[in-house]
Structure 1
Amino acid sequence: MVIRTFPAGLDRQAGMGSLAVIALVALFGLALLAAFRVVPVYTEYAEVKSAVAEAAKDPARSESEARRIFRARAVVAGIGSVKDSDLIVVAGGNFLTVRARYRREVPLVANVKLAFDFDTQAGQGPAAQQR
């Protein structure tokens, strides 16, 4: 049986050091901050997508009626990134296409921002033309 002894001050370290713990907590905090900033953006996008689908539901609707329906849904859902005037609406005969394209920038820390580009389209008929 061999017993190893270490001179005083050279004991083996068990576990993480204090700097490693601080770095791990900082990384976890940054990830949590990013999640708190990103989740509302995607929640709003889901609301925009739903409002666009509702506005384009009936192909016999006029452009102004589709915009009015979107505006009403946006007020109820709290959509602030897209206005009814930002929509690309192509209506005619038996088709209606409603498209929302927008960019959302979310400040993360100091001068660092996260940028999101969203594009959703609903309806029947020819694809909406880009502005």
Structure 2
Amino acid sequence: MLSKKVKYAIKALIFISKNVEANKPVSAKLISAKEKIPYKFLETILRELKQNKILKSERGAEGGYSFLKAPHEISVAEILRFIDGPISMMNCVSVNYYQKCEDCIDEETCSIKLLFTEVRDATLPILNKTIAELSK
């Protein structure tokens, strides 16, 4: 299940992408009000996006958040991974967070692993859509 933190991060990034005016930053208060995201929770999310070099922030009356990394370079999968961790439903299927399955006799013939590898392979191309693509 998608966490609210990831959902709000994606919503905030799309909002910033759609509301960037001549490189002026977008305020957290505006994002919070327009996207109905609790302000304090949004601040935490935006700080995490900044720490992961997705956004940059500027202080002051005209301050706010803008992209450090271009929206066409930011995938939903990337946001999911650094906020919630592995995308795969099982560690033995994960590309980036692989761990051997403790109770599996033979991973090569495990029908459960084969099924969830298929799920991963079908899901990843969709999750690799970028913030720019979602902002159209």
Report if TM-score (shorter chain) is over 0.5: no
Q: Which has the higher helix share?
A: 2
TM class, shorter-length: 0.3 to 0.5
Q: Which has the higher strand share?
A: 1
- Higher RCO (C-alpha under 8 Å, 6+ residues apart): 2
TM-score (norm 2): 0.31
* Larger gyration radius, structure 1 or structure 2: 1
